[in-house]
């Protein structure tokens, strides 16, 4: 059984970057432009488009805080950002490899997904984090601090 995370030191914690949801901000901007055009030319429906803009921005704010990522002294954890309930975790001793996955747009935005593998299988993902290279280094450092170098898995530098 896994130990309680509440008594462990948190060495890093963050939410997905706001840039992860830039597509949603773009959609809100397009809807806002349509609202402005309707208002400017005195067409009916501009209030609905304005409400749509506010709703899209609200959704972006809500889903950005949905996941909270933590590097603890012995585990990596993804929690629900609102309830604090654990969504997923992996013990640092079980980590074989840490990868960064990022497409062309994500690389341009400076975000990426940090994937933690155990037994060759993805076990945990930190999606849309700012500075994915830095997060990867933090995870690898936490592993080195926990596990003596002679016992580290071959893929963790």
Residues 140 and 98 in one domain: yes
Residues 59 and 72 in one domain: no
Residue 58: domain span: 20-63
Please give the Cα distance from 18 to 13 (Å, whole number). Answer: 15
Cβ(130)–Cβ(22) below 8 Å: no
Please give the Cα distance from 112 to 28 (Å, whole number). Answer: 23
Query: What is the domain count for the chain?
Result: 2
User: Which tokens belong to 111?
Assistant: 């975000």
Residues 85 and 98 in one domain: yes
pLDDT at 20: 95
Residues 59 and 104 in one domain: no
Q: pLDDT digits over 27-52, tens only?
A: 999 999 999 999 999 999 999 999 99
β-pair partners for 67: 80
The model's pTM is 0.85
pLDDT at 146: 87
Q: Report, as an integer, the average pLDDT of 119-140.
A: 97
pLDDT at 74 over 90: yes
Residues 53 and 73 in one domain: no
């Amino acid at each position: 059984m896994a130990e309680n995370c509440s008594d462990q030191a948190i060495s890093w914690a963050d939410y997905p970057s706001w840039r992860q949801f830039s597509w949603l901000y773009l959609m809100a901007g397009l809807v806002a432009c349509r609202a402005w055009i309707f208002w400017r030319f005195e067409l009916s429906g501009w209030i609905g488009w304005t409400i749509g803009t506010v709703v899209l921005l609200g959704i972006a704010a809500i889903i950005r805080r949905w996941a909270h990522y933590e590097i603890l002294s012995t585990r990596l954890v993804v929690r629900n950002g609102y309830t604090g309930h654990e969504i997923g975790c992996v013990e640092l001793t079980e980590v074989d490899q840490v990868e960064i996955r990022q497409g062309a747009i994500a690389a341009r935005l400076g975000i990426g997904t940090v994937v933690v593998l155990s037994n060759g299988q993805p076990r945990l993902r930190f999606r849309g984090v700012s500075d994915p290279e830095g997060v990867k280094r933090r995870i690898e450092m936490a592993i080195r601090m926990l596990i003596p170098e002679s016992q580290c898995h071959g893929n963790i530098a």
